[in-house]
Amino acid sequence: MDYEKLAELLFPNIKKRPEDYLKQYPKRDLKEGAYVTRFAPSPTGYLHIGGVYQATAGLFFAKKSGGVFYLRLEDTDAKREVAGAANIIYPALKEFGVEPMEGFISYDNGVETSKGEYGPYVQSRRKEIYQCFAKELVRQGKAYPCFCEGEDDDENEGLDYRKQQKALGLQIGYYGSWAKCRNLTLEQVEENLKAGKPFKIRIKADGDGQQRIIFKDKLRGNINMPKNFIDYVILKSDGSALYHLAHLVDDTLMHTSLVMRDESWLPSAPLHQQLFEYMNLPMPEYIHTAQIMTVDKETGNTRKISKRYDKWADSRWFIEKGYPSETIIEYLLNLLNSNFEQWRKENPNASVYDFEISEDKMSKSGAMFDLVKLEDISKTVISKFSAEKVYNLTLKWAETYRPKFAKELKEHKEFALKMFNIERETPKPRKDISKWEDVEDIYSYFFNDNFASNETEYQFDAKFDKNDIKELLNRYIKAYDETEEKQDWFSHIKFLGEDIGFASDMKAYKQNPQNYKGNYGEVSSIIRMALTKRSNTPDMYEICKLLGKQEVVNRLQKCINSL
């Protein structure tokens, strides 16, 4: 067979050779050992949290080695594309703090916006390049045209031969004697082309069904797998590439040195290895990352997360709830590397970007996603923010999701800043906010209007007599002096109820609680309840100062009147 002729027949308009592209996209000028990683999503819906996880891994491997992390849009499957999904990826990654250093940004009406020298970064714009590589494979007798109908993507289970294979219990696929077009003569091909029959290109697999290969995975070690013997489609009849070919071409020309992708791609690895061998191109290194798992609430079983059952699988959920990007990265690194938690303990104030990711600490089996842990981590993360940062981020979030609250925050900026500053920027800051969605509720009692319209009942411990409560509140009203230092203020509380049976000495109280109506801690709780309708708030001295004497008096009076 004259393969050279065959290649010309199939691709008369493709004039370039792979070496032309290899020249056009020269090796990157990076230091030895620098990783070039990428995130290569398909625009099939909103960004999955698993995608953000992949991107985080890619960014951190590139960063720690002085390499490059870039974004590529894998839009070769037009059928699965969801309108608008492509242009959300870059801003979302940026929002989550995993901004790619290079590559795809947006794609509008055929116009690609991107940064970097290795583009186009949109696969649908790379058809000619894929065809050039497909032509080369044909030229070398390693790929061939297939005129069979209706199975561009090798997924059409309805085809007759597949049904027969199933009935015979054979491996399903286009191979061996089932591969009708594998041995077409040049004349037969010419005839088909003359008849205007569309063709796709298939790899001519050299496995025999028995041989095995070793696939090297940086995380999973050497994996013994069957050599590929199926003649998979690599180029569709419309001239666009399938993932297998696009991966070979793009990761070669963009000089990816570490492919990090979901473990669901592992079964295709032998085919990819074969393609790289056929093209005599060096394979990048690979890490097939573990999938994110969760415990199913109904069955109690561990399962893969899915957008259908887990609303948070869609990364937008985290933005809607108002988790800061710092929390997401922090949590995803927790999932990615088992030593992250220890590193964080040792470096409580370091930037998360100083963490050095490593494959030795990555999980090979599923990474368990735990929302409770995320909340916990988030509280710690936010507790380290300045009051100004909390204010700005809460406001930004509220402007979209709670406009009324945003208005209030804007109108009372100075007040809100002071409010957020209570027990903040101290050695042991308060850990009360895990997401911006909670802020309005956590701090609602600070806002006079909110408080006035709050119908919640006061929850005093039933052991206290109403008259004692009234007496304590009246005394506090009389004694409260907003110019007082904290120590003096505290001693007022301590002795506020001493003469009516509330212990001012905790030790004495603990020895004989039956001799008292309560202790000064409980006095403080009574005032807190009257003031905020909460049993748990930040420092009450600060709250009173912020509310001001008049408001303190009004609130306590209102409570007294209700008793």
Residues that bind ligand GLU (CB under 6 A): 40-42, 74, 247, 259, 261, 265
Nearest distance in Å: CB 22, ligand GLU = 20
By beta-carbon proximity to ligand GLU, the closer residue of 107 and 385 is: 107
Enumerate the H helices of 47-98 as residue ranges.
49-65, 86-95
Nearest distance in Å: CB 270, ligand GLU = 15
Token code pair at residue 35:
């990783």
By beta-carbon proximity to ligand GLU, the closer residue of 55 and 473 is: 55
By beta-carbon proximity to ligand GLU, the closer residue of 40 and 377 is: 40
By beta-carbon proximity to ligand GLU, the closer residue of 146 and 248 is: 248
Nearest distance in Å: CB 237, ligand GLU = 21
Nearest distance in Å: CB 282, ligand GLU = 17
By beta-carbon proximity to ligand GLU, the closer residue of 87 and 165 is: 87
Nearest distance in Å: CB 240, ligand GLU = 14
By beta-carbon proximity to ligand GLU, the closer residue of 44 and 524 is: 44
Nearest distance in Å: CB 89, ligand GLU = 11
Task: Report in angstroms the alpha-carbon separations of 219 from 54, 181, 251, 302, 365.
Answer: 14, 39, 19, 22, 11
By beta-carbon proximity to ligand GLU, the closer residue of 12 and 282 is: 282
By beta-carbon proximity to ligand GLU, the closer residue of 46 and 391 is: 46
Read off the amino acid at residue 306: S
Is the distance from CB of 308 to CB of 45 less than 8 angstroms?
Answer: no
By beta-carbon proximity to ligand GLU, the closer residue of 39 and 446 is: 39
How far apart are the C-alpha atoms of 448 and 256, rounded to whole Å? 58
Nearest distance in Å: CB 103, ligand GLU = 13
Nearest distance in Å: CB 364, ligand GLU = 18
Cβ neighbors of 406 (< 8 A, separation 6 or more) are: 395, 398, 399
Token code pair at residue 86:
């492509």
Nearest distance in Å: CB 42, ligand GLU = 4
Is the distance from CB of 87 to CB of 105 less than 8 angstroms?
Answer: no
Dump strand ranges (E) for 282-404. Answer: 285-289, 292-295, 302-304, 367-368
By beta-carbon proximity to ligand GLU, the closer residue of 306 and 474 is: 306
By beta-carbon proximity to ligand GLU, the closer residue of 268 and 450 is: 268
Nearest distance in Å: CB 40, ligand GLU = 4
Task: Report in angstroms the alpha-carbon separations of 362 from 219, 238, 257, 266, 267.
Answer: 7, 40, 19, 16, 20
By beta-carbon proximity to ligand GLU, the closer residue of 99 and 320 is: 99
Is the distance from CB of 69 to CB of 256 less than 8 angstroms?
Answer: no
By beta-carbon proximity to ligand GLU, the closer residue of 259 and 540 is: 259
The answer to whether the Cα torsion of 505, 507, 512, 514 is positive or negative is positive
Nearest distance in Å: CB 302, ligand GLU = 22
Cβ neighbors of 318 (< 8 A, separation 6 or more) are: 49, 96, 312, 328
What would the 3-class secondary structure string for 229-270 be? CCCCEEECCCCCECHHHHHHHHHHHCCCCEEEEEHHHHHHHH
The 10 Å Cβ neighbour count of residue 34 is 17
Nearest distance in Å: CB 47, ligand GLU = 11
Nearest distance in Å: CB 321, ligand GLU = 25
Residue 367 DSSP code: E
Cβ neighbors of 205 (< 8 A, separation 6 or more) are: 175, 228, 229, 230, 231, 232, 271, 274
Please report the DSSP string for 114-183 in residue order. EESSS---BGGG-HHHHHHHHHHHHHTTSEEEE--SS-TTS--TTSHHHHHHHHHTPPPSS-GGG-TTTT
Nearest distance in Å: CB 424, ligand GLU = 41
Edge-to-edge strands of the sheet including 200-203? 143-146, 200-203, 233-235
By beta-carbon proximity to ligand GLU, the closer residue of 265 and 276 is: 265
Among candidate residues 363, 350, 348, the one with its CA nearest the CA of residue 431: 348
How far apart are the C-alpha atoms of 527 and 550, rounded to whole Å? 15
Beta bridge partners of 294: 303
Is the distance from CB of 215 to CB of 222 less than 8 angstroms?
Answer: yes
Task: Report in angstroms the alpha-carbon separations of 252 from 19, 276, 280, 283, 433.
Answer: 11, 9, 11, 8, 46
How far apart are the C-alpha atoms of 384 and 390, rounded to whole Å? 10
